[in-house]
Amino acid sequence: MLEADAVKLVNDALIVTMKISAPILIASMIVGLVISVLQTTTSIQEQTLTFVPKLVAVFMAIAVFFSYMLHTAMDYTRSIYDLIIRY
């Protein structure tokens, strides 16, 4: 394996990680922002109020985007196996 192959492998791994985690992180960020705005407008300063809605949003994002995340991980795994077979 050449150095360029190793760099490409690490680069692809980071991109796949971002693709898989993006739906969950975006959903959590949006829910956190909405709860923060509601807390600001109602003057409720409870720090634990955002935990349950974020948790629900994360589970919903996983349920909705699970197929996409699974296919992305499987495609990357297949490319790794193809790389192993080539060398």
pLDDT score recorded for residue 20: 97
Residue 27 has which token pair?
Answer: 């959903």
pLDDT score recorded for residue 9: 92
The residue ranges of the chain whose pLDDT is under 70 are none
pLDDT score recorded for residue 75: 96
Are 58 and 30 within 8 A, CB to CB? no
pLDDT score recorded for residue 72: 96
pLDDT score recorded for residue 12: 95
**What angle (nearest 5°) sits at the alpha carbon of residue 72, between those of residues 67 and 77?**
125
Q: Tell me which residue range forms the domain holding 23.
A: 3-86
Indicate the number of domains in the chain.
1
The whole-model pTM stands at 0.82
pLDDT digits (tens, 9 = 90+) for 66-82: 999 999 999 999 999 99
